[in-house]
Structure 1
């Protein structure tokens, strides 16, 4: 029997997945979580074989949950389910330690097959997403620029961004100007939107 943890902040999706997977003879849902921090705690106490994790959750997101489980519970394979299947997210998920990456719109039986595959030591990436990832543009921004842009996207004042990144106000302004120029947009809000649409954030 393959023991499963399901983590998704949308209760309807989580319970539907639990019911669907519960129909499989070799799968057993042993825990369910509505946020990332609870997912990690339940995984450590229940020790599932596979964790099926939503990418966007309160507290810790799917990437952070994956990274924590890869470190604290390496025997637990993580499959990320997402409604936002952008190529850069795939790369980040695999780097964090995910063994599977599947769009939420996949056929019903696909998830059970992916769970079996990663439990057996394999990997699975949705073929269409993998093809997109090979042709997707790389982010022109540095890690530091992305860090500044993530904060700037929340309409955070320059002084607050400077304090959180240990930079001067002038340096933050220079970063924001460089970001806007590199992305070919007019404002930092447009830069944030463009970076988000491409999955760079």
Structure 2
């Protein structure tokens, strides 16, 4: 059964690339967002199976978005997308539920 996903990414080209990868795997992108407000709206409106969230966003970082999503729905699933491979960042993201 295909997953219904939301892509949270501020860069339009990267957002489209992630969307294409998700769809290539047989899943569906039900919404796209650029920030926390858009992610929360997508959660309420679409009740997705999961999110991909960019760690480095201009308004709020991905960790803040992940925490807000998990507070609104403790069962929310997320994949954090980042070019940052620092162990400390990885640990924080995993601790937050990614």
TM-score by length of 1: 0.46
Higher helix fraction: Structure 1 or Structure 2?
1
Tell me how far apart the structure 2 counterparts of residues 14 and 75 of structure 1 sit (CA, whole Å): 24
Aligned to 2:43: 43
Aligned to 1:56: 56
Report how many residues are paired: 97
Deviation of 1:84 after TM superposition, in Å, equals 1.2
Aligned to 2:29: 29
- The superposition leaves residues 21-71 of structure 1 with CA deviations (integer Å, 9 ceiling, x where unpaired) of 21223x110011122331122122211111000001122210011111111
- Ranked by relative contact order (alpha carbons within 8 Å, sequence separation 6 or more), the top structure is 2
1:10 aligns with 2:14: no
Provide structure 2 residue ranges, at least 5 long, that are not aligned to the other structure: none
Alpha-carbon spacing, 1:76–1:52, altered in 2? closer, same or farther (3 Å): same
Larger radius of gyration: 1
Q: Which runs of 4+ in 1 moved over 2 A?
A: none
1:83 aligns with 2:83: yes
Higher strand fraction: Structure 1 or Structure 2?
2
Which aligned pairs between 1:157-168 and structure 2 lie closer than 5 A?
Answer: none
Aligned-pair Cα RMSD in Å: 1.3
Provide structure 1 residue ranges, at least 5 long, that are not aligned to the other structure: 99-201
